[in-house]
Amino acid sequence: MASVQEQTILRDPQLFYWILFPITIVMVLTGILRHYATVLMQSAPQKQDIRAIREQRNLLHGIALRTNLNQLSLSSFTARKNYLVAAYNRGEFLKDQENKGKPPANPMTDPAGMDQMMNMLKGNMAMMVPQTLIMGWINAFFSGFVIMKLPFPLTIRFKSMLQSGVMTRDMDVRWVSSLSWYFLNLFGLRPVFSFILGNDNAADQMAAQMGGMNPAAGAGMFAPGQDPHKMFLAEAENLEVVGGQHEWVLDGVIERLLAAHN
Amino acid sequence: MTTAAEERELLLNPVVPENVLHNTKTVTDIRSLTGSLFGVAAGILGLESYWGFIFYLVGSCVVSAFMVALNTGGRPERYFRGKSEIWTTEVVSGSSMAGFILTWTLFFGLLRV
């Protein structure tokens, strides 16, 4: 087998100065640009109607009470719960009381919903455009020759991807073209970004893609198109359910304290 | 321990998400910095294939030992759930490994080939 013998290829050191470093620098600068573009493109949160805020806050009040119920004594929990459940069922906190039973408005016509969608679209654009541009740039300028040798072996399956444009059948897969250096940068530059820009940066493309999988996770609570009255009714039911499992944390605290200090 | 007892324990000693996030962030920062530096070292030493990854794992263990000794004062269970979490967080998956491979490849290519 020919593969036993080590393949050596003489390369011009200029390859490093004119390919490796430019790609790295461009990737880092693109990440920084992405970060600042994302920061700049975020539109400031709009001032909301006082009634809309009241609706949201009161729903969050119920959720907070439900999650922290054990911090309260049974009597004070029951008092809060009774007040909230009664108000929820009456629909007291609703933004527009007369629309209680009607289906929600079309999210496409709601200006708040439009705004949210615009933000999502901008985030996707900031991710897709540089990625496409850089891949195209690398393919246009730097394809067709190998630039480096990986320090670890890969299976033959990677050959078509990592040696794209190099038409040699027998070359070891460890010799790779510039596109694979691009991929390494794509995955490995996150530490660099977090040291340049801090931890909450928007520079990393891979992280942005992971986050892009579920864009509804953060904004899902008050997404347009949901009937707030239904949410209030569901929350009232939840409060009633957890009310049966109440167990105060301060029950038996004296015994625990004494046991801890014995 | 039954589920009810576990829940009760969690109520008496609650886990604050902000603190957990901060501790994990600290570990991640240390790991990604040291991961990149290990890559530089491995590239300069000219390690290949398995030896590079073994070097990375051994180095990560050393870093974990330092974190246990210096950052947590020898008591990682005060900052993490369980004693083993600080040894395994962010070692194999995550940005630390990717940074290691990046700098390893770069310095290997610059110096050895």
pLDDT in tens, A186-196: 888 888 888 88
Give the lowest-confidence range in A14-28, A99-113, A181-195.
A99-113
Instruction: Please choose, from the candidates A92, A45, A105, A136, the residue with its C-alpha nearest in 3D space to the C-alpha of residue A226.
Output: A105
Q: Which residue of B has its CA nearest to A20?
A: B106
Chain pair A-B, CB pairs under 8 angstroms: 74
Domain boundaries, chain B: 19-112
Residues of chain B contacting A189 with CB distance shorter than 8 Å: 99, 102
State the sign of the Cα–Cα–Cα–Cα dihedral A147, A150, A154, A158: negative
Distance CA A237, CA A216 (A): 24
Q: What is the dihedral of CA A247, A248, A253, A255, to 10 degrees?
A: -20
Looking at residue A14, its amino acid is: Q
Taking alpha carbons only, the member of A202, A190, A214 closest to residue A125 is: A202
A188/B95 touch (CB, cutoff 8 Å), yes or no:
yes
HEC profile of chain B? CCHHHHHHHHHHCCCCHHHHHHHHHHHHHHHHHHHHHHHHHHHHHCCCHHHHHHHHHHHHHHHHHHHHHHHCCCCHHHCCCCCCHHHHCCCCCCHHHHHHHHHHHHHHHHHCC
Q: Which candidate, A62, A49, A106, A58, places its Cα nearest to that of A225?
A: A106
pLDDT category of residue B41 using cuts at 50, 70 and 90: very high
With 60 as the cut, is the pLDDT of residue A218 above it?
Answer: no
Rounded CA gap, B18 and A36, in Å?
A: 26
**pLDDT given at position A208:** 56
Q: DSSP letters of A145-199?
A: SEEEE-SS---GGGHHHHTTT---SSS-TTEEEHHHHHHHHHHHTHHHHHHHH-T
Question: 3-class DSSP state for residue A48?
Answer: coil
Contacts with B35 from chain A: Cβ below 8 Å: 191
Integer Cα distance of A114 and A112 in angstroms: 5
In terms of pLDDT, which residue wins out, A87 or B76? Answer: A87
Token reading at B58 = 């051994």
Measure the CA–CA gap between A167 and A145, rounded to whole angstroms.
9
Instruction: Tell whether B11 lies on the interface with A, counting CB pairs under 8 A.
Output: yes
- Å from B74 to nearest chain A CA? 23
- How far is the C-alpha of A230 from the C-alpha of A44, rounded, in Å? 29
The DSSP element (H or E) to which A67 belongs, if any, is: helix A50-67
Provide, as residue numbers in chain A, all residues whose Cβ is less than 8 Å from the Cβ of B109: 16, 20, 147-149
Query: Mean pLDDT lowest for which of A79-93, A156-170, B26-40, B61-75?
Result: A156-170
List residues bridging with A21 in a β-sheet.
Answer: none
* Closest A-chain CA to B37: A191
Helices vs. strands in chain A: H and E counts, helices first: 12, 2
* The one-letter amino acid at A159: K
What is the predicted ipTM?
0.75
* Range of weakest confidence among A115-129, A181-195, B28-42, B43-57: A115-129
Q: Which residues contact A138 (CB under 8 A, 6 or more apart)?
A: A23, A178, A179, A182
Is the predicted pLDDT of residue A255 greater than 80, yes or no?
Answer: yes
At residue A146, what are phi and psi to the nearest 5 degrees? -85, 145
Q: Count the Cβ atoms, other than its own, within 10 Å of residue A114.
A: 13
Report how far residue B52's alpha carbon sits from residue B46's, in angstroms, rounded to the nearest whole number: 9
pLDDT at B58: 92
Chain B CB contacts of A16 under 8 Å are: 109-110
Q: Which chain B residue has its CA at the smallest distance from A154's CA?
A: B49
What's the residue count for chain B?
113
Q: Is B16 on the interface with A (CB under 8 A)?
A: no
Residue B33 predicted with pLDDT over 80: yes
Whether B33 has its CB under 8 Å from any CB of chain A: the answer is yes
Pick from A60, A63, A64, A74: which is nearest to A244 by CA? A74
CA distance readout (Å), B62 to A79, B76, B82: 55, 15, 19
CB contact under 8 A, B101 and A188: yes
Kindly state the percentage of chain A with pLDDT values over 70: 76
pLDDT of A213 higher than 60:
no
The set of residues, in sequence order, having a beta carbon less than 8 Å from that of A28 and lying 6+ positions away, is: A189, A192, A193, A196
- Give me the residue label for tokens 């579920």: A214
The residue type of A37 is A
